[in-house]
Amino acid sequence: EDKVVQSPLSLVVHEGDTVTLNCSYEVTNFRSLLWYKQEKKAPTFLFMLTSSGIEKKSGRLSSILDKKELFSILNITATQTGDSAIYLCAVVLTGANSKLTFGKGITLSVRP
Amino acid sequence: DAMVIQNPRYQVTQFGKPVTLSCSQTLNHNVMYWYQQKSSQAPKLLFHYYDKDFNNEADTPDNFQSRRPNTSFCFLDIRSPGLGDAAMYLCATSRGLTGFTNEQFFGPGTRLTVL
């Protein structure tokens, strides 16, 4: 059975801290890994990772994939209260239908 | 702006009373998905359409049905909602072209309450 595991499940930090969110996976037919941010609404897309070792960066957020060890990390530097959200990791399997297998998500709370 | 639209945003229904949720997209994407997300859980895929080709997940209850009359619209029908069906229902789309790794674009969701 395909499995995506995120850790920790929840995290509380203070503004300015740096956090690392983890996502490991065991799937057949891996194609790519996606990170989403979900506040009290639908998930919004952050990154898509397909190749190992290539860091994707967007402002204070960055992510990297390790296809040998089957995991990805999402880093957030200089956290702000607006970063408080659930961060979802999802794996895309091969096939034209781009089905996603989601992890349970990591709830990040950033305190002022 | 191209987007994924879901209506209504909030739906209240009674136990056993059929309900239909709608999703439309202006992205002209081939694939449309319906997810169920309960509190503090990851979205769970119910089914998806690749064009008119319907794909049901093995563990999706028969109570849930879907229709896609054209590229732009997709409906989720819950024939006899139970209390356990109260959740956020998310519609998503992707280009779904062979050889592409496409992210899914999500609509804002419909929060269903069952009384």
* Residue in this structure with the two tokens 């194609």, named with its chain if needed: A31
Q: For residue B103, give both structure tokens.
A: 């992210």
Closest CA in chain A for residue B57: A99
Q: For residue A39, give both structure tokens.
A: 């506040």
Distance from the Cα of B104 to chain A's closest Cα (Å) equals 8
Give the end-to-end CA distance of chain B in Å, rounded to a whole number: 36
Distance from the Cα of A86 to chain B's closest Cα (Å) equals 9
Contacts of B62 (CB under 8 A, 6+ apart): none
State the pLDDT confidence band at A78, using cuts at 50, 70 and 90.
very high
pLDDT value for B16: 95
Q: Do B101 and A31 touch (CB under 8 A)?
A: yes
Q: How many CB atoms lie within 10 A of CB A100?
A: 27
Question: What is the average pLDDT across B59-71?
Answer: 94
Interface check for A42 against chain B (CB to CB < 8 A): the answer is: yes
Comparing CA positions, the residue from B106, B98, B25 lying closest to residue A94 is B98
Distance from the Cα of B16 to chain A's closest Cα (Å) equals 26
Closest CA in chain B for residue A100: B45
Helix H, strand E, coil C: the string for chain A is CCEEEEECCEEEEECCCCEEEEEEEECCCEEEEEEEEECCCCCEEEEEECCCCCCEEECCEEEEEECCCCEEEEEECCCCHHHCEEEEEEEEECCCCCCEEECCCEEEEEEC
Q: Tell me if B74 sits within 8 A of B49, measured CB to CB.
A: yes
Interface check for A31 against chain B (CB to CB < 8 A): the answer is: yes
- CB nearest to B109's CB, from A42, A48, A92: A42
pLDDT value for B99: 46
Q: pLDDT, tens digit, for every residue of B14-52?
A: 999 999 999 999 988 888 999 999 987 888 999 999 889
Residue A57: strand pairing partners: A62
- CB nearest to B101's CB, from A41, A48, A103: A48
Q: pLDDT, tens digit, for every residue of A34-54?
A: 999 998 778 888 999 988 888
Comparison of pLDDT for B99 and B35, the residue scoring more? B35
pLDDT value for B2: 62
